[in-house]
Amino acid sequence: MTNDPYALATDAATALKGAVGVGSFDVALVMGSGWVPAADAIGETIAEIPVTDLPGFAPPAVAGHAGRIRAVRTESGKNALIFLGRTHLYEGHGVNPVVHGVRTAIRAGAGTVVLTNAAGGLRPETQEVGEAVLISDHINLTGANPITGATFVDLTDVYTPRLRDLVREVEPSMAEGVYVAFRGPTYETPAEVRMCRILGGDMVGMSTALEAVAAREGGADVLGVSLVTNPGAGLVGEPLNHEEVLAVGRATATRMGVLLSKVVNKL
Ligand code: 8IG
């Protein structure tokens, strides 16, 4: 086996296509915390495998992160790959396992990558818990980057404007916001939350930004959606716990599933 992350993704894509019996995929969706139950609305399941059946994936670490890959056929006849759970930078396996799903999906043909997450809301004045926000841009404060070497990828339109327009055709009232990515696994201090607001952030989380960068490097279009599950630390009320995140996900799963399904069918 190879140490080259791109070759590893090519190997994983070959193994994936063989394991699920699908020759090529059109779109990949990464379901973050709280989004996994929404996956059932995307299409008919063709096959589902644990990520650990493929080379390059880290074993799942967090409760509620299933660590499985589902191949589905959408109503519009597209082949979709759904990642039920993701690897986070805070797990300590380095940056390559974090973006391996996205790279594998692109090698398996996916030209569109949909990244979902649960996030803290930095604008409780206007955001509600359980609200989905379109990611318009990000601020990467993870200190990491999936790209090594002098590859100067343009990040002007990381989150493809055409895909954001398409979501607003489905859901005209949906807000847009800037996602601030931290390494975690701690939530922010109240001072860091205030900093993020001053910097122009609207949501804060521990995922998505690195995967979006890897997807753009790979030439895929990116759609990002955050499910706001708590106000950022110190803005209002109590700190959150992971169980509450999953509960918000369960409560909003049908709505989020319908949204994603409509968007995928319009691709
Ligand atoms: I859900 O408030 C969720 N994930 N960094 N901060 C960070 N990640 C999160 C938060 C939050 N809420």
Torsion of CA 137, 213, 72, 16, to 10 degrees: -170
120 Cα: distance to centroid of ligand 1 (angstroms): 4
**Sequence-separated (6 or more) residues with CB below 8 Å from residue 83:** 28, 29, 30, 31, 51, 68, 69, 101, 105
DSSP state of 192: H
The answer on pLDDT for 212 being more than 80 is: yes
Annotated active-site residue in 242, 244, 251, 265: 242
233 is catalytic: no
Give me the amino acid identity at 169: E
Predicted TM-score of the model (pTM): 0.95
118 is catalytic: yes
Residues with CB under 6 A from ligand 1: 33, 118-120, 182, 184, 187-188, 204-206, 229-230, 232, 245
**Sequence-separated (6 or more) residues with CB below 8 Å from residue 93:** 58, 87
pLDDT in tens, 80-136: 999 999 999 999 999 999 999 999 999 999 999 999 999 999 999 999 999 999 999
CB neighbour class for 50 (10 Å; exposed up to 12, middle 13-18, buried from 19)? middle
230 is catalytic: yes
